[in-house]
Amino acid sequence: MTESSPTLRETQEQVDQWIKTIGVRYFSELTNMALLTEEVGELARIMARRYGDQSEKPSDSGADLGDEMADVLWVLLAMANQTGIDLTDAFAQNMEKKSSRDSERHQNNPKLQP
C-alpha cells in the first residue's frame, strides 16, 4: 500500500489479508450476499431518515454515514475477492460501457435540465 490513499486493488488485497488472518476464512458467497444486503439496508435506513421523508430516530442521529458506506464497500470487496473479480478492471470496463452507452443520454434528458 502506498503512503497516499490506497488504490481499489490495494484495498481489495487489504480485505483479503484481513479475512485470511483475523477473519480466519471467507464466509460463503451466499452469506456474504446476505451481509451485503443487510449493510445496504442499514445505509438506506440512515439515508431515508436523514435525507428523505422519514423522521430520524434518536438511535440513528449519531450514525456515521461514511462508516455505513464503508461497510457496504468492505463486503463488496470481499465478494469480489472470493469470486475472482478484479474490481479495478471491472470498474474501468464499467466506466467505458457507461461512457459509450450514455454519451448523450443524460444531456438530452429534460428531467435533468436546470
Contacts 24+ apart (CB under 8 A), 31-34: 32/75, 32/78, 32/79, 32/82, 33/79
Residue 41 has a pLDDT of 97
CATH annotation of 8-88: 1.10.287.1080
If you count DSSP H runs as helices and E runs as strands, how many of each does the chain have, helices first?
A: 4, 0
| Percent of the chain scoring above 70 in pLDDT | 98
pLDDT confidence of residue 31 = 98
Per-residue confidence at 17, pLDDT binned at 50, 70, 90? very high
pTM: 0.86
Q: Residue 28 pLDDT > 90, yes or no?
A: yes
Would the pLDDT of 29 be above 90? yes
Per-residue model confidence as pLDDT tens digits over 55-111: 888 888 889 999 999 999 999 999 999 999 999 999 999 999 999 888 788 888 888
pLDDT for 109 equals 87
Report the distance separating Cα 71 and Cα 7, nearest Å. Answer: 17
Q: How many CA atoms within 13 Å lie on the side-chain side of 93? A: 6
Look at residue 52 and give its three-state secondary structure.
coil
Does the pLDDT of residue 1 top 80, yes or no? Answer: no
Domain chopping of the chain, boundaries: 8-88
